[in-house]
Structure 1
Amino acid sequence: MKILVIGGSGFLGRAVVEEALARGHEVTTFNRGRSGPDVPGVEAVRGDRESSADLERLAEGRSWDFVVDTSGYVPRVVGASARALSGHAGGYAFVSTISALAGFPAEPATESTGLWPCPPDAGPDDGDYGVLKAGCERAVEEGFDGKVLIVQPGIILGPYEDVARLPWWLTRIARGGRVLAPGDPGAPLQFVDARDLAIFTLDQAERGVADRFLVTGPVGQTTFGEWLAACKEATGSDAELVWVDDTFLAEQGAGTFVELPLWGGPPAPGHDHFWSVPTDQARAAGLRVRPVAETVRDTWAWLREIPEERRRFGAHGIAPEKEEAILAAWEARSA
């Protein structure tokens, strides 16, 4: 097959490209060349998807069996790509998010759950991440004349993760000492390795599937305690995990998801179904997920190849002094 990957040099896009090349497909990537080098073996086309001239240049004289769009966040931008590539590809796979589903996570999610209201020509300021992704889905379905595959993943982890949730935890635990472990070690987690998401997406593309799928790990996949234990094992760290109560953390001003990656705060209405996403339809279509320990181990192996000064976590991770202050307060309260 001939496959066009919009993106292709970063996290999920890179996983799609590497998997497609391993299967013997011809791969073209379209990106600005800012997120990193393209994977050797691709036809790299430089351009900005927000430029109509660049999109026309990309499509001119070329055709593909399938487009895989891993980097669409603004509906009107995604719509322009879908229209430009319509007639130049047999199918278009768009990587959306489970957050595009209306009511989630307060309400349970299925493939038939409706999307948040968002028009296909919405701009970047017309909604939050999930709302805009819903508009992007509509933009592809309305703008592309061919088979449309919509993939709605949950949390994505694995090597090359640029959001830096798992990389931050690995680096923090590798540093050792007393580590603030948030909430209940038995709290459930559910995620998909980028490589498994890539495999599933390409499987559907090869079969010419036009459908939508929720793609993440199985319900009950792991717990926060098991996940951090896997981080300790992968790094060989002697860190001491100090589990601090959800409510106490909230009282101390600990930030959810970003400051303490993947910690959602005290149980509260509105997040009831975040870690219980059903994947029956995707599993019936062939989704398989690797063991959590493998994702953690492989991410640490990749991370070790990067000099510590080049590890960028953006806003993720709690400041050491704040972590120490919370641990001291927790110890004082416990005493």
Structure 2
Amino acid sequence: MRILIIGGTRFVGRHITEAALAAGHDVSLLHRGRTGPDLFPEAEHLLADRDTGLAVLDGREWDATIDVSAYLPSQIEALAGSVSTGRYVFVSTTAVYAPGQRPGFTEDSPLAELDGDGPVPDTVTGETYGPLKVLCERTAIERFGPGTLVVRPTYVIGPYDYTGRFTYWVNRLARGGEVLAPGDPSAPIQVIDGRDMAAWTVAMAGRGDGGTFHAVSPPPPFTFGDMLERIAAEVAPPGTTLTWVDTDFLHAAGQDGRSLPLWGEGGDTSINTADPSAARAAGLDPRPFGQSVREIRASEADFSVETTVTPAREAEILAAWHAR
């Protein structure tokens, strides 16, 4: 099968490209050439910026197009006017849902909408990210037809994760000692290994299956406390302890979801309770959580991002918490 991947060299896109090549497909990558330009010499590389012109697609046809880099409905409109493809796959997000979801909510649950009747914003922010993805999904189905496949992942984990969110916790717990655990341990969380999502997405594209699916794991209930404890069980040395520090204290100490990743900061985390049964029935088979943790530790032990809390600052916050 001939597959066009829009943005196939970074994190999720890279996993999808690897899965497509491993399955023996003929792969073309449309990207700007800024990230991983030397990756995948066996694939065709089409260098273009989707926001400034897609003439490189003229006269070409693909059996399937997998899009991992659309954040605005205008980007999908432009692609639909430029590409000839048998089927279209859009990688969306569980952030499309409105707040206040019930645990185990399904794919037909209420979606987030933009406020007001003004023009569609062309800037992605924390407030517009989910509603704009909703519009992207609707545009995809309108332009590419009801056979469109929409994949809604939660937090994606695994190798190549440039965000370092989940990787931070793997590496922090592997260091051991007293670990600052933020907020409410009962807050829900879900993740999906990018390799598992990628293999399933490529298989779905190959079968021509459409519809909307949650690419999430584990099924609820699964909490932030569960996550840290299960990571610790895989990588933490003896004597490692978790000290839970409440949200108000952390905010007063200048901490947020960038310094302590995946922490909900006391906000609505109900979107982290999605029901994965439809995707499971369609073949999504996530590897065991502990396996992901061990493999991330093996491949990303030296990875860090500048925004996460430093060991010295973590120790200061813990000392202040104990002294309060």
Task: Give the TM-score band, short-chain normalised.
Answer: 0.7 to 0.9
2:182 pairs with 1:182:
yes
Q: In the superposition, relative to structure 1, how do residues 173 and 236 fare at CA in structure 2: closer, same or farther (>3 Å)?
A: closer
> Following TM superposition, by how much is the alpha carbon of 1:211 offset from its aligned partner in structure 2, in angstroms?
0.8
C-alpha contact 1:75 1:132 (8 A) present in aligned 2: yes
Letter in 1 for 2:215: V
Please give the per-residue CA displacement for 1:104-124, whole angstroms capped at 9, x wherever unaligned: 3x2234211243335996522
The one-character-per-residue Cα deviations of 1:34-68 (angstroms, maximum 9, x if unpaired) are: 1223224211111111122xx121x2232111000
Q: Structure 1's 159 and 120: CA in aligned 2 closer, same or farther, altered over 3 A?
A: farther
Of 278, 281, 285, which aligns to 1:281? 278
Counterparts in 2 of 1:83 and 1:142: CA distance versus 1, 3 Å: farther
State the aligned residue count.
317
| Cα shift at 1:184 | 5.0
Provide structure 2 residue ranges, at least 5 long, that are not aligned to the other structure: none
1:74 aligns with 2:72: yes
Matches within 5 A, 1:1-40: 1-36=1-36, 37-40=38-41
1:98 aligns with 2:98: no
Aligned residue type for 2:107: E
Code of the aligned partner of 2:322: E
* Aligned-residue offset at 1:9: 0.7
The one-letter amino acid paired with 2:159 is P
In structure 2, what is the equivalent of residue 298 of structure 1?
Answer: 295
Relative to structure 1, the CA distance from residue 46 to residue 324 in structure 2 (aligned partners, 3 Å threshold; closer, same or farther) is same
Distance of aligned partners of 1:237 and 1:120 in 2 relative to their CA distance in 1, 3 Å threshold: farther
Structure 1 residue matching 2:76: 3-state secondary structure: helix
1:60-93, Cα deviation, whole Å (9 max, x unpaired): 23211100001111221232112211xx110110
Q: In the aligned structure 2, how far is the partner of 1:328 from the partner of 1:11? A: 36
2:318 aligns to what?
327
Give the AA of the match of 2:194.
Answer: A
Separation of aligned partners in 1, 2:134 and 2:188: 26
Shift of 1:297: 1.3
Query: Partners of 2:245 and 2:145 in 1: how far apart?
Result: 52
Contact 1:170 1:300 in 2 (8 A): yes
- Determine which of 103, 107, 114 is the counterpart of 1:111: 107
Amino acid at match of 1:39: F
- SS for the counterpart of 2:81 is helix
TM-score, scaled relative to structure 1: 0.84
Change (3 A) 1:221 1:120: farther
Q: After superposing the two structures, state which structure 1 stretch, 232-241 or 323-332, moved more.
A: 232-241
Provide the alpha-carbon RMSD of the alignment.
2.7
Residues 158 and 195 in structure 1, CA contact (< 8 A), matched pair in contact too? yes
One-letter code of the match for 1:163?
T
Cα shift at 1:261: 1.2
Offset, 1:23:
0.9
Tell me which residue corresponds to 2:45: 44
- Report % sequence identity: 37
SS of the equivalent of 1:257 reads coil
Secondary structure at 2:196 match in 1: helix
Q: Describe the superposition over 1:151-188 as per-residue Cα deviations: whole angstroms up to 9, x where unpaired.
A: 11111111111221122223333444432122455654
**1:244 is matched with which residue?**
244
Contact kept, 8 Å, 2:113 with 2:131, in 1: the verdict is: yes
Partner of residue 141, structure 1: 141
Shift of 1:239: 6.7
Q: CA deviation at 1:16?
A: 0.7
1:163-174 alignment, distance < 5 Å: 163-174=163-174
Q: Is the 2:175–2:236 contact (alpha carbons within 8 Å) kept by the matching residues of 1?
A: no
Measure, in 1, the Cα distance between the counterparts of 2:156 and 2:258.
15
Letter in 1 for 2:293: V
**Which of 57, 60, 73 is 2:58 aligned to?**
60
Shift of 1:234: 5.0
Change in 2 beyond 3 A, CA 1:183/1:2: same
**Change in CA separation of 1:116 and 1:6 when aligned onto 2, cut-off 3 Å:** same
**Post-superposition offset of 1:15:** 0.8
Letter in 2 for 1:56: A
Q: How many angstroms apart in 2 are the aligned matches of 1:208 and 1:252?
A: 51
Residue 322 of structure 1 and its aligned partner are, at CA, apart by 3.0
1:154 aligns with 2:154: yes
Distance 1:251 1:41, change over 3 A: closer
Paired AA for residue 303 in structure 1: E
